[in-house]
């Protein structure tokens, strides 16, 4: 197993990541963290923007809030995962709600992982 000091820059492939979250502090924090990790980032703050940006940006990974006010994250995943240009995109569901309150997991077959948003570090105003 390699240590941090043995890792070479560029050892992790650069990914195209779309962050979809309606909370501005959360979307800013997540996008900044992903960018600091060396990946290309776009973000959307609602479902309609997420669909449009995903089709143009063609992300490798989508960090997707499943509790958006205008669209359910499940509906966004369902629409995008069957598009040819996005068939290899990985979806990671994010929610402020506990897993038990996210619609009984009906979105789970479409998502790769679930991350409770309270576990994502927030950026202070100094960021």
Mind giving me the DSSP string for 53-90?
A: HHHHH--SEEEEES--SSS-HHHHHHHHHTSGGGTT-E
Q: What is the CATH number of the domain that holds 30?
A: 3.40.50.2300
Asked if residue 1 is part of any domain, the answer here is: no
Give pLDDT tens digits for 17-59.
999 999 999 999 999 999 999 999 999 999 999 999 999 999 9
Q: Is residue 88 part of a domain?
A: yes
Give the bridge partners for 19, in sequence order. Answer: 43, 63
DSSP structural state of residue 37: T
Can you give the residue range of the structural domain that contains 28?
A: 20-114
Closest C-alpha to 51, from 36, 71, 26? 71
b/e code 13-40 from CB counts within 10 Å (16+ = b): eeeebbbbbebeebbbbbbbbbeeeebe
- Cα distance between residue 70 and residue 76, in whole Å: 11
The string of pLDDT tens digits covering residues 81-113 is: 889 999 999 998 887 766 554 454 544 444 444
* Closest to 77 measured CA to CA, from 63, 91, 65: 91
How far apart are alpha carbons 51 and 61 in whole angstroms? 14
Q: How many domains does the chain have?
A: 1
**pTM flag (> 0.85):** no
pLDDT digits (tens, 9 = 90+) for 3-15: 656 656 556 789 9
């Amino acid at each position: 197993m390699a240590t941090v000091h043995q890792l070479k820059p560029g050892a992790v492939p650069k990914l195209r990541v779309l962050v979809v979250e309606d909370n501005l502090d959360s979307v800013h924090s997540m996008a900044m963290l992903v960018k600091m990790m060396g990946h290309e980032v776009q973000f959307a703050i609602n479902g309609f923007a997420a669909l449009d940006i995903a089709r143009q940006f063609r992300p490798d990974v989508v960090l997707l809030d499943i509790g958006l006010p205008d669209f359910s994250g499940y509906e966004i995943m369902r629409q995008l995962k069957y598009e040819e240009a996005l068939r290899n995109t990985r979806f990671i569901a994010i929610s402020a709600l506990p897993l038990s309150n996210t619609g009984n997991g009906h979105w789970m077959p479409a998502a790769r992982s679930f991350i409770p948003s309270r576990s994502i570090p927030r950026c202070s105003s100094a960021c």
